[in-house]
Chain A
Amino acid sequence: MFTRKTWILATVLLVVATIVLPACQPASEPVEVTRVVYKEGTPQVITEVVTATPEPTPEPGQEKVLRIRLNSSPDIIDPQQSSFNNEIAHLSLNYEGLTRLNEKMETIPGAAERWEYNEDATEITFYLREGIKYSDGTPVTADRFEYALKRTADPRVAGEYQYIVFDIEGAEEFGTADVNALSDEELNALRDAMQVKALDARTLWMKLTHPAPYWHTVMSLWVAYPARKEMIEAGGDTWWQKPEFQVGNGPFILESFEEQVKGVFRANPNYWGGKPAVDRLEFYYVTDLAVAFEAYKNNELDITRLGPEIYDTAMADPVLSQEALIEPAASTFAIMMHNARPPFDNKLVREAFTLAFDREAWCRDVMRNLATPTLQWIPPGLPGYDPSVTAYQFDPEAARAKLKEAGYESPEALGEIVVTYPATPQLQARYEWIANMWQTNLGVKIVLDPVEPTTYTALTKDINTAPLVYQLGWIQDYPDPQNWLSVYWTCGAFGQRIGYCNEEFDRICALADSEQDRDKRIKLYQEAQMVLINDCPGAFVWNEANSYLIKPWVKGIAYTPMDAAWPGQWASQTTVTIDLEAMAAATGQ
């Protein structure tokens, strides 16, 4: 009695079974592995069949594995194309630039053991360490860095950080060339005209378009990481997904990368700075913070972010609250006003609104202590930060007086002030607080204008569409006041979007940019910052904090304010370790 129905049922069951059952098989079949080997210096891609041994469960007492949660899978791990925190976290383990940063955010030698500027800081020469190698034994030579910098500028690559090397002479002409209009030879000619040259195997020279005594700090950035030309060419567009092509010169080696699941690194025993203390480092891409929190409590993760969603729960717990690390980050946020639009084209009005902003309450009540108040743009810990700044501290009476002085007898005369922000639930609550604060302290009428996030970004790009009042922020690219002041607030730079332009500020910045004496430089930047503060373009409100939960058996972390992905990511790569005994004792495994 095999009716049609039975056949259908059987087919469906068969289909479902063929899909479900393979998941139940143990994984121990032969696997094809692709590697790049060198025969007389030329790379060849070979494929061999290896019997995959089932992954051994890490036993305590043997391997030190640091498991870190990242909030998303990196979109691309390519030194010359990446731009997001997570991507950079991967790159900085696998590669190393000419210089690096220590726990005080100072620039120290990396692959280069020293560097020299010429008289007016328009040329810089890097001298590489002797005998440094990639993790596969190939020597690291100066031409590798030349390749990296030229590739950064290459319009055929067009990474989002391309512009940062435009200070090298010839880079901008090369970088902005029209790829569709010019032939490869012409583009290559422009590339060769870029003024960065390997003078010999250990010497790299470059010429800058203007005096830039901070350039050695810029050369610690990921755009200078010496990715392997032959591997990029062998691997094609998706070279970066395969660990065999990501052979770098950093303290770790990328062992495996499973998109949206995890990325695994193992220690590089041939790193010049010594083999890292931890054997393996694993990034888990867990998108939801609550899930990551559960995993952390379940001892499946060693480090996770302590976000506002789980802050209360964690801090209320006697054990977890001890594992929290909350430190200021190198980021500043401000509520800015459009300097070219009424009523904020009147400085007194801007001052009124700035004086009426209660930063302490904001950090305490809204940011739940995951932020610290600030009155200036440069964050604490960075050279150029001035602890003596007191301009525009919270003073609601002075605020109201300023408003009267501006000619507005009563706050109603100002009309409606529109405050714009990305429409997310978190920001909704924050901006309602801001609206209430200004309404209470100043008596003005605030209208809230939530906008879809990507639309918001598009709006803020141009001075004509930029909102009347909105949030601005900056997370530094590199720890130098030049990146905070000159890159952001000079006429024509980012600050231009709110109509800020002060020639005096530009003048001082230009002086500071080229000043070779470090102390004089810092003083000049502080002077420039005072000009900015006294112009009162808006209210500088808070420095955000980096907040993490770290298991007590993780040792050797030196936090820097730039640790946006994981604590110790910049200064603790070789020192971070796991205390296996403590871990065994705590987890009872």
Chain B
Amino acid sequence: MISYFIRRLLWLVPVLFTVALITFVLMHTAPGGPWDTNPLAKRVDPRTEEILNRRYGLDKPLWQQFTNYVWNAVQGKLGPSYRLRGRDVEDVIIERFPTTAKLGLISLALALIVGLPLGIISALKQNSVVDYLSLFFATIGTAVPNFVLGIFLIIIFATGLRWVPVIANDWSTWRPWALPSIVLAAGTAAYLTRLTRASMLEVMNQDYIRTARAKGLAEIFVVLRHMVRNALIPVVTILGPALANLVTGSFIIEYLFSVPGMGRLYVTGVNQRDYSMIMGNTLFYAVIVALANLGVDVTYAFLDPRIRLEK
């Protein structure tokens, strides 16, 4: 198990290097630079631009910029942000990541709490009212864009019922977290419901379930100890990337609810050609996704004894 862990972690190194290289090349292929962000004709004076380029090393040849970057990144220094003057990328990410991660984890918890039981019950009571209701909610959760859902919920719960404020005043209380996590959870919950249901249906007809019942095991134990545990394997598979996705933030949700997280950093960084921000975020995402996948693979071994991590 330990050697498996170490092997997987060592694999991270070439993966991250390749990610960095590809991102770097793509980034510099796009025309424009960090000082071209205002299309309104207010542009940086060319003399100042030259000074800025020299100061940040943007006038050096590309290969040299890349090697400098990798050398610094290995030491944990992801470079200065060009848009957020005076701050380093790693500081900004560390500062904003907890908020986004918290939102992501709350959303995941909500999605699991709603999606899993709903999927299981729909499978157990196939074609009943619960099943059709769950289909209805799942379709809405997937089909309605979260932007639209967000505004809807704001109008209903904030302006209408006044249970939460429209704009967040204080993120240390629970109210501002409610709507963004619900909207963020909606898509994942919908997907989880359907996936769990399908997986359960498949497991329900297996021989060993019939055997367990024949042996006289109570139905609740048949469901919990045999059906659910096996049905969860495909669910856990998607949980890894889903977790990585949620934890690294949704641009739209953060934009809509003005969440002080890092979800916006990436997209605005690309628009503004904030090179170090783009590179830093990409590498950060890559690490999170890799770790999430590692977590998923390890969880398999717990769920299914047939899966052995070592051969």
Contacts and interface: CB of A to CB of B under 8 A. Distances in A.
A288 B255 contact: yes
Contacts of A23: 102, 172-174, 177
A461 interface: yes
Interface in B145-185: 151, 154-155, 158-159, 162, 165-174, 177
Interface stretch (A32-40, A105-113, A154-162): A154-162
Looking at B39, B171, B172, B271, the one whose CB has the most chain A CB atoms below 10 A away is: B39
A163 to B, nearest CB: 4
A551 B51 CA distance: 45
B37 A457 contact: yes
Given A4-B302, A23-B173, A456-B39, A237 B86 contact: yes
Contacts of A178: 54
B109 interface: yes
Nearest to B154: A294
B60 to A, nearest CB: 11
Contact of B41 (A19, A81, A291, A473): A473
B167 A286 contact: yes
B273 interface: yes
Looking at A20, A27, A180, the one whose CB has the most chain B CB atoms below 10 A away is: A20
A315 to B, nearest CB: 19
Interface residues of A, number: 70
Nearest to B95: A259
Contact of B85 (A81, A286, A287): A81
Interface in A65-79: 69, 73, 75-76, 78
B35 to A, nearest CB: 8
A457 B260 contact: no
Contacts of A259: 260
Interface in A471-487: 472-475
A475 B84 contact: no
B85 A24 contact: no
B51 A291 contact: no
A160 B48 contact: yes
Interface stretch (B25-33, B198-206, B279-287): B25-33
Interface in A24-81: 24, 27, 55, 69, 73, 75-76, 78, 81
Given A454-B32, A475-B40, A494-B41, A262 B52 contact: no
A51 to B, nearest CB: 16
SS class, residues of chain B in contact with chain A: loop
Contacts of B213: none
A181 to B, nearest CB: 9
A211 interface: no
A16 B257 contact: no
SS class, residues of chain A in contact with chain B: mixed
A179 interface: yes
Interface string B82-125: 01111100000000000001100110010000000000000000
B126 to A, nearest CB: 25
Contacts of B35: 160
A582 interface: no
B54 A19 contact: no
Contacts of B85: 75-76, 78, 81
Contact of B109 (A16, A73, A261, A422): A16
Given A20-B105, A176-B50, A295 B177 contact: no
A301 interface: yes
Given A5-B302, A155-B51, A475-B42, A454 B173 contact: no
A422 B42 contact: no
A454 B268 CA distance: 11
Contact of A76 (B38, B55, B86): B86
Contacts of B303: 5
Nearest to B80: A237
Contact of B39 (A8, A258, A292, A457): A457
Contacts of B87: 237-238
A438 interface: no
Interface of B: 30-33, 35-45, 47-48, 50-52, 54-55, 83-87, 101-102, 105-106, 109, 151, 154-155, 158-159, 162, 165-174, 177, 225, 229, 255-261, 271-273, 299, 302-303
19 contacts: A19-B102, A23-B173, A76-B86, A81-B85, A160-B44, A160-B45, A176-B47, A237-B87, A238-B86, A286-B258, A291-B256, A292-B167, A454-B36, A455-B32, A457-B38, A458-B32, A460-B39, A461-B36, A473-B41
A-B pairs, top 4 by smallest CB distance, nearest first, are A458-B32, A260-B260, A163-B45, A295-B166
Given A75-B84, A288-B258, A458-B32, 7 more contacts: A163-B47, A259-B260, A285-B258, A291-B167, A294-B151, A457-B36, A458-B36
